[in-house]
């Protein structure tokens, strides 16, 4: 598993008085906030309704009930993992993690104690009945004598078990409870429920989180089971106005700093001023602040480079943004360059993205040279942030592009987290790409090999025709190249790697895409 890397400060706090996330030590209400310790790099963002629905659907599948109640503010933190994994922060606490497990090709919820205690709460009047009737799932009840040992971190052994939920399978996520329905551990089952029942000994659960029982909070209000069409829909800006209000002073300060940076850069870099817009959230905020900074001081152009692999929603959003900001618009398209390259090179890989040069850098270079090179090039404000990658964290805030002749880049929001960006968008009611509400957390080329398998599974629901076409092209290529078990090479996203990571190599061997050492023996 990838190791956490610090790319910037961990800034997430929580106001106990307002019960909202705050990006500093003081809430606008005046209260001192509590620091929330998340896994680095800490690029926190709001959980959208799509995300909440996924969490609750997985929670119901695994444990029988929802994890998140109505009208709760939930923050996501993307954590290092072989695929996609998000820490779930609610009420100022990390209550669990949801991750896409490639082997299972599905999302799995890993509850922490705080999350497990939301579902298995002794104060819920029906908890005994829910246990007895198997409404609640994936629980293991231990005897009182085992409680102090389990709470200290000892694995659950078969002799300490009183009873279990039916249908537990090895590698299922489980919650360990006492006879009084108090949660003492959460972890992964190493036996099935039948094996736990019939075996005299052995390790039943490997605990991931454990601790002594605590006084439970009152049960959460999950609201009525209304049909979606009957619910009063609110935009994210409306739903999160309380959070925006709590962060008003912080947002005003980072905006002031960024606008000052833009004005200073525009005054000191003697080039035509431009702003790059990609259809994503970061470039949207950068564009909006460039517009505010420019008033009465300078003019600028909006730049857009279509890689030929943009979502239809992105193309539409770009057109709408150009109409909103009413600035000179310079665009270029790579056309079918990717598909021509695919016929020669095959699919791009994480460690060999040949498409970056042909679909992105070459067209934008042509755009800059055609419009600005004769006048000395251009200064381009770009929505780059340090939390996105190690390379961007190491980048200067103003730099001369090594790949695009004639362009100087500048990053006004270099030190912003995704939560800064989204709260700014909500505060100003900016016109963001609707793809963010469909489960995408980054907008770019729709078949980028750097995307997770979880992202591609999501696209099979949101953009089925595009994914069907891509799957067919990959399968045809794999069969022509005589790749063993071509269907698995496509299904498990193994096409994304020219050189497999250890985790992907193990998967490729298990799925018959490459031979294991044992199979190579005569």
Question: Where are the CATH 2.30.130.10 domain residues in the chain?
Answer: 136-218
pLDDT value at residue 151: 94
In degrees rounded to 5, what are phi and psi of residue 402? Answer: -80, -15
Give the tokens for residue 294: 């420019």
Reading across the β-sheet that carries 173-177, which strands appear in turn? 156-157, 203-210, 183-189, 173-177, 139-142, 161-164
Distance CA 381, CA 390 (A): 20
pLDDT value at residue 227: 47
pLDDT value at residue 199: 87
Query: Topology of 1-121 in CATH?
Result: Nuclear Transport Factor 2; Chain: A, (3.10.450)
CA dihedral 116, 117, 122, 124 (to 10 degrees): -90
Pick the closest to residue 2 from 36, 41, 55 (CA basis): 41
| 101 three-state secondary structure | strand
Give the tokens for residue 392: 């961007």
pLDDT value at residue 232: 53
pLDDT value at residue 79: 93
| pTM for this model (two decimals) | 0.94
Question: Where are the CATH 3.10.450 domain residues in the chain?
Answer: 1-121
Q: What angle do CA 159, 172, 105 make, to 5 degrees?
A: 165
- Digits of tens for pLDDT over the chain (522 positions)? 566 677 778 999 999 999 999 999 999 999 999 999 999 999 999 999 999 999 999 999 999 999 999 889 999 999 999 999 999 999 999 999 999 999 989 999 999 999 999 999 999 999 999 999 999 999 999 999 999 999 999 999 999 999 999 999 999 999 999 999 999 999 999 999 999 999 888 999 999 999 998 888 888 877 655 444 344 578 899 999 999 999 999 999 999 999 999 999 999 999 999 999 999 999 999 999 999 999 999 999 999 999 999 999 999 999 999 999 999 999 999 999 999 999 999 999 998 999 999 999 999 999 999 999 888 999 999 999 997 867 776 778 899 988 888 999 999 999 999 999 999 999 999 999 999 999 888 889 999 999 999 999 999 999 999 999 999 999 999 999 999 999 999 999 999 999 999 999 999 999 999 976 544 433
Give start and end residues of each alpha helix (H) in 109-247. 113-119, 127-132, 147-151, 193-198, 236-239, 241-246
pLDDT value at residue 389: 67
pLDDT value at residue 43: 94
pLDDT value at residue 521: 36
Q: Determine contact, residues 118/219, Cβ cutoff 8 Å.
A: no
**Any bridge partners for residue 139, and if so which?**
175
**Any bridge partners for residue 156, and if so which?**
205
Query: Topology of 247-438 in CATH?
Result: Rossmann fold (3.40.50)
Distance CA 180, CA 144 (A): 9
Cβ neighbour number for residue 17 with a 10 Å cutoff: 12
pLDDT value at residue 231: 46
**Any bridge partners for residue 77, and if so which?**
44, 87
pLDDT value at residue 476: 96
Give the tokens for residue 309: 């692999």
Distance CA 245, CA 237 (A): 11
Angstrom distances, CA of residue 125 to CA of 122, 182, 218: 8, 14, 11
87: number of CA atoms within 13 Å, CB side?
A: 23
Give start and end residues of each alpha helix (H) in 380-463. 390-394, 418-428, 453-462
Sequence-distant (≥ 6) Cβ neighbours of residue 30 within 8 angstroms:
none
Domain spanning 136-218: CATH superfamily: PUA domain (2.30.130.10)
162: number of CA atoms within 13 Å, CB side?
A: 14
pLDDT value at residue 1: 54
Residue 140 CA, chain-centre distance (Å), reads 31
Q: What angle do CA 209, 210, 212 make, to 5 degrees?
A: 155
Q: Determine contact, residues 342/473, Cβ cutoff 8 Å.
A: yes
Q: Determine contact, residues 110/30, Cβ cutoff 8 Å.
A: no
Cβ neighbour number for residue 206 with a 10 Å cutoff: 14
Question: Where are the CATH 3.40.50.620 domain residues in the chain?
Answer: 247-438
């Amino acid at each position: 598993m990838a190791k956490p890397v610090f790319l910037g400060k961990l800034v997430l706090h929580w106001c106990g008085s307002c019960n909202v996330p705050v990006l500093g030590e003081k809430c606008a209400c005046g209260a001192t906030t509590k620091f929330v310790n998340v896994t680095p790099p800490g690029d926190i963002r709001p959980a959208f309704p799509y995300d909440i629905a996924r969490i609750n659907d997985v929670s119901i599948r695994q444990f029988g009930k929802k994890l998140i109640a109505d009208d709760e503010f939930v923050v996501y933190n993307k954590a290092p993992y072989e695929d996609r994994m998000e820490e779930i922060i609610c009420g100022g606490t990390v209550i669990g993690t949801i991750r896409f497990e490639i082997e299972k090709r599905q999302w799995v919820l890993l509850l922490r104690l705080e999350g497990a205690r939301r579902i298995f709460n002794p104060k819920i009047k029906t908890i005994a009945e829910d246990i007895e009737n198997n409404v609640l799932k994936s629980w293991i009840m231990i005897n009182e004598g085992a409680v102090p040992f389990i709470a200290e971190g000892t694995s659950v052994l078969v002799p300490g078990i009183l009873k279990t939920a039916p249908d537990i399978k090895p590698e299922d996520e489980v919650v360990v409870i006492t006879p009084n329905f108090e949660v003492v551990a959460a972890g992964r089952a190493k036996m099935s429920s039948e094996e736990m029942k019939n075996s005299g000994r052995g390790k039943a659960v490997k605990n991931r989180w454990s601790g002594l029982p605590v006084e439970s909070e009152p049960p959460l209000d999950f609201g009525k089971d209304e049909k979606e069409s009957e619910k009063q829909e609110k935009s994210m800006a409306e739903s999160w106005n309380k959070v925006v209000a709590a962060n008003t002073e912080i947002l005003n300060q980072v905006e002031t700093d960024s606008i000052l940076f833009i004005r200073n850069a525009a005054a000191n870099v003697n080039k035509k001023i431009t702003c790059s817009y990609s259809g994503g959230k970061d470039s949207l905020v950068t564009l909006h602040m460039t517009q505010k900074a420019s008033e009465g001081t300078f003019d600028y152009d909006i730049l857009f480079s279509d890689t030929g692999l943009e979502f239809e929603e992105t193309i539409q959003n770009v057109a709408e943004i150009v109409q909103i900001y009413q600035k000179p618009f310079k665009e270029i398209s790579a056309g079918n360059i990717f598909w021509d390259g695919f016929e020669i090179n095959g699919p791009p890989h994480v460690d060999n993205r040949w498409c970056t040069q042909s679909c992105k850098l070459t067209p934008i270079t042509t755009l800059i040279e055609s419009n600005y090179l004769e006048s000395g090039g251009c200064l381009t404000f770009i929505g780059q942030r340090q939390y996105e990658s190690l390379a961007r964290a190491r980048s200067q805030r103003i730099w001369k592009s090594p790949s695009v002749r004639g362009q100087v880049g500048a990053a006004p929001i270099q030190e912003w987290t995704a939560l800064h960006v989204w709260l700014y968008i909500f505060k100003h009611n900016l016109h963001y790409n609707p793809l963010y509400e469909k489960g995408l957390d980054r907008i770019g080329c729709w078949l980028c090999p750097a995307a997770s398998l979880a992202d591609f599974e999501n696209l099979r629901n949101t953009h089925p025709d595009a994914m069907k076409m891509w799957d067919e092209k990959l399968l045809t290529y794999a069969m022509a190249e005589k790749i063993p078990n071509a269907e698995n090479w496509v299904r498990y996203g193994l096409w994304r790697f020219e050189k497999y990571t250890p985790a992907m190599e193990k998967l490729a061997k298990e799925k018959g895409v490459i031979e294991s050492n044992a199979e190579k023996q005569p």
